[in-house]
C-alpha cells in the first residue's frame, strides 16, 4: 500500500495502532510529539511524508484544546513537508455540541474548529457520529462521515435480546430520531424520556412518553456520554417504569467528572461505547464494555486511499 502514511496524535495511540494492524501497515508512522517545559507543543515527523497520502488520527476528546492544537500542528508540519494530501481523522469530533447560536453573543465553536482544521491545511476530514450531521456542512473540504450504529447494533444482536421484549429509549426529545433508527434495526418499541420540570423546584421528575417499558429490556441510545448525569437520570426513570434490564449505548465515551461514580450507582446493567476515545483508567467502570471501530476506520482509510466508495460500506441503510 505505497504512499499511505498513518500518524497518531497522542490522544488515542492504541486506536491508531489497531487501525494500522487492520490496514496491514507495518507500523504507525514515526513522529516525535511532546511539550516543551512551558507547555508549548513540539512536533517533528520522523518518516518522510513528501508526496505521501497522510492520515492524522486524533480524536479531539479531553483535554480537547491540547488535542486539537496538537492536530493543527501536525497538519502544519505535514503541509510544509509537502505531503500530497492530508486527511484529518477525528474518530470523535469535540466541541460538536456548540454547533449553533441559541443565545446572544455566544460562539459557534464547532464551526470555528472546522475553520481552524481547514486553515491549518487539512485537505479532507474523516470522522464518526457527529453530534449533528450538519457539521459536515461546516467544511468546504470533503468530509467522510462514518456511523458506529451497525457496530453497536451488532453488539446487542449478538446478546440475543428478542425484539418482542425490547424497548429502545431516547434519553431526551432531541435524540428521538436516533433512537428510532435503532428501532428500525433491532426492533422493539420506542420510548422517550421527557425531562420537563413541572415546577421550578422539581428537579427529579421524568415522564416517559411511548413504551411499553414494564417487564422489558431497555436500551438507552445516545451519541456520547460525558458526565453521565443525563443518561443515569434516564436509566432511573426507565427502571422506575418497570424495565427488567437497562443498558446504555453510545458512540463516544467522553466520561468526565463523576461519570464512573454515577454509572456505578445507577440502575444500569451495562454501558457500551466504542474505542473512539481512549478512556482514562479512573473512569473505567466495571459495567463498561467496548466495541472497536478500528476496522471501520481502517476500511474507510483504505477506501479513501484507493479512491473507492465510502457509501458502499453502509449499503442503503446507514
| 201 belongs to the binding site for its own copies (CB under 8 A) | no
Write down the least CB distance from residue 280 to its own copies, Å: 12
Torsion of CA 121, 126, 131, 135, to 10 degrees: 50
Binding to its own copies (CB under 8 A): which residues in 239-268? 254, 256-257
Give the x-and-dash track for 10-49 against its own copies (CB under 8 A): --------------------------xxxxxxxxxxx-xx
Catalytic-labelled residue, pool 111, 195, 239, 287: 195
| Annotation says 287 is catalytic | no
| 212 belongs to the binding site for its own copies (CB under 8 A) | no
Q: In this complex, which beta carbon is closest to its own copies, that of residue 18 or of residue 288?
A: 288
One residue of 10, 17, 21, 108 binding its own copies per CB under 8 A: 108
Write down the least CB distance from residue 103 to its own copies, Å: 7
Binding to its own copies (CB under 8 A): which residues in 51-80? 51-52, 61-66, 68-69, 72-74, 76-80
Instruction: Report the DSSP pairing between strands 53-57 and 85-90.
Output: parallel
Q: In this complex, which beta carbon is closest to its own copies, that of residue 112 or of residue 159?
A: 112
| 216 belongs to the binding site for its own copies (CB under 8 A) | no
What are the residues facing 289 on neighbouring strands? 272
The Cα–Cα gap between 186 and 91 comes to 24
DSSP code per residue over 174-200: GGHHHHHHHHHHH--EEEEEE---SST
Are 233 and 207 in contact by the 8 Å Cβ rule? The answer is: no
Written as nine digits, the cell of 142 is 470533503
One residue of 34, 174, 212, 242 binding its own copies per CB under 8 A: 174
Range in contact with its own copies (rule: CB under 8 A) among 9-17, 120-128, 243-251, 261-269: 120-128
One residue of 13, 21, 223, 227 binding its own copies per CB under 8 A: 227
Are 45 and 29 in contact by the 8 Å Cβ rule? The answer is: yes
Here the contacts of 194-198 (C-beta below 8 Å, separation 24 or greater) are: 195/230, 195/233
Plot region of 65 (φ>0 → left; ψ -120 to 50 → alpha; else → beta): alpha
| 121 belongs to the binding site for its own copies (CB under 8 A) | yes
Question: Which are the catalytic amino acids?
Answer: 195
Amino acid at each position: 500500500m505505497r504512499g499511505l502514511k498513518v500518524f497518531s496524535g497522542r490522544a488515542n495511540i492504541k486506536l491508531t495502532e489497531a487501525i494500522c494492524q487492520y490496514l496491514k501497515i507495518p507500523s504507525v508512522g514515526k513522529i516525535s510529539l511532546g511539550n516543551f517545559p512551558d507547555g508549548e507543543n513540539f512536533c517533528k515527523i520522523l518518516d518522510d511524508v513528501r508526496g505521501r497520502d497522510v492520515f492524522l488520527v486524533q480524536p479531539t476528546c479531553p483535554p480537547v484544546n491540547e488535542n486539537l492544537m496538537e492536530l493543527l500542528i501536525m497538519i502544519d508540519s505535514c503541509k510544509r513537508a509537502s505531503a500530497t494530501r492530508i486527511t484529518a481523522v477525528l474518530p470523535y469530533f469535540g466541541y460538536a455540541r456548540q454547533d449553533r447560536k441559541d443565545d446572544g453573543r455566544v460562539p459557534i465553536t464547532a464551526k470555528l474548529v472546522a475553520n481552524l482544521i481547514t486553515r491549518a491545511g487539512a485537505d479532507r476530514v474523516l470522522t464518526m457520529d457527529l453530534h449533528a450531521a450538519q457539521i459536515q456542512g461546516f467544511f468546504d473540504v470533503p468530509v467522510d462521515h462514518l456511523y458506529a450504529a451497525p457496530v453497536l447494533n451488532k453488539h446487542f444482536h449478538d446478546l440475543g435480546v428478542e425484539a418482542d421484549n425490547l424497548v429502545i429509549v431516547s434519553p431526551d426529545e432531541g435524540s428521538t430520531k436516533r433512537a428510532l433508527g435503532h428501532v428500525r434495526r433491532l426492533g422493539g418499541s420506542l420510548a422517550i424520556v421527557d425531562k420537563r420540570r413541572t415546577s421550578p423546584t422539581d428537579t427529579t421528575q421524568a415522564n416517559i412518553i411511548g413504551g411499553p417499558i414494564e417487564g422489558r429490556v431497555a436500551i438507552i441510545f445516545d451519541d456520547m456520554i460525558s458526565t453521565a448525569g443525563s443518561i443515569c437520570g434516564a436509566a432511573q426513570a426507565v427502571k422506575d417504569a418497570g424495565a427488567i434490564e437497562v443498558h446504555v449505548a453510545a458512540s463516544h465515551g467522553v466520561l468526565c467528572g463523576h461519570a464512573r461514580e454515577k454509572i456505578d450507582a445507577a440502575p444500569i446493567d451495562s454501558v457500551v461505547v466504542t474505542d473512539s476515545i481512549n478512556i482514562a483508567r479512573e473512569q473505567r467502570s466495571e459495567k463498561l464494555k467496548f466495541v472497536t471501530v478500528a476496522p471501520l476506520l481502517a476500511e474507510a482509510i483504505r477506501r479513501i486511499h484507493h479512491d473507492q466508495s465510502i457509501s458502499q460500506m453502509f449499503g442503503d441503510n446507514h
